[in-house]
Amino acid sequence: MQKKTAKESLTVMTNIVLPNETNSLRNLFGGELLSRMDRCASISASRHSARRVVTASVNHVSFNEPIPEGGVVVMESKVSRAFSTSMEIYVDVWLDDPIHGKKIKTNEGIYTFVAVDEFNKPVPVPPIEPESDLEKSRYDAALRRKELSLILSGRMKPTESVELKKLFSGK
């Protein structure tokens, strides 16, 4: 299978925060943001795999800054690493202030998607070739996250880990 680059899966979504999408503090509901991030990430996964995809897990989400009512939200997602049938997608969220020309990173999240066939059975996905320093860093970290997830779920023994051993042994 031919390798693809992360930029081939780049998805950018922009929306404004409306009053019915906010909490009592007039900031975007966390669940609303998660839903938007999931949609953005799913498009990246579909672009990479050229398949229908399903969300397998939400591995990490940080809520660093509130997004106020009326704020312009920009989400950027890319595949950070592809495994046999799954893909890790990194989503960066920005508050864009077009009036003052500022862009503030508010959130980020890491999602895992699986490519499926017409019978909803997992199918192979192309490998990814990271290009930028950030893409390479996220690519390397994805394997550590996957191994840790497999260990915590009991599907891998800690002694079978490759990357985590390196991390803790310094070798």
CA gap 27, 40 in Å, rounded: 20
Q: Sheet containing 52-63: which strands, arranged edge to edge?
A: 11-16, 72-82, 86-97, 102-116, 52-63
150 in a structural domain: no
- Its domain, for residue 81, covers 4-129
Q: So what's the pLDDT on residue 113?
A: 98
Q: What pLDDT does residue 36 have?
A: 98
Q: Within a domain: residue 47?
A: yes
pTM of the model: 0.91
Quote the pLDDT of residue 171. 62
Per-residue confidence (pLDDT) for residue 150, from 0 to 100:
85
Which pLDDT belongs to residue 30? 96
What percent of the chain stands above pLDDT 90? 80
Residue 33 is encoded by which pair of tokens?
Answer: 């943001």
For 56, 101, 118, 167, the CA distances from 109, given in Å and listed in that order, are 14, 24, 28, 22
Residue 71 DSSP label = P
Kindly state the average pLDDT of the residues 19-33: 97
Domain count, the chain: 1
How far is it, in rounded angstroms, from Cα 34 to Cα 32? 5
d(CA 4, CA 155): 28
How far is the C-alpha of 37 from the C-alpha of 108, rounded, in Å?
A: 9
Q: What is the pLDDT of residue 170?
A: 63
pLDDT category at 45 given cuts 50, 70, 90 is very high
Q: What is the mean pLDDT of the chain?
A: 94
Q: Could you report the per-residue pLDDT of 115-159, keeping only the tens digit for each?
A: 999 999 999 999 999 999 999 999 999 999 998 888 888 888 888
Q: Where are the alpha helices (DSSP H) in the chain?
A: 30-49, 133-152, 163-169
In a domain, 161, yes or no: no
- CB proximity list for 157: less than 8 A, separation 6 or greater: 151
Query: Is residue 73 in a domain?
Result: yes
Higher-pLDDT residue of 65 and 150 is 65
CATH number of the domain that 118 lies in?
3.10.129.10
Residue 13 above 70 pLDDT? yes
131 DSSP 8-state letter: -
What pLDDT is stored for residue 121 in this prediction?
98
The answer to the question of residue 56 being in a domain is yes
Query: Has residue 168 got a pLDDT over 70?
Result: no
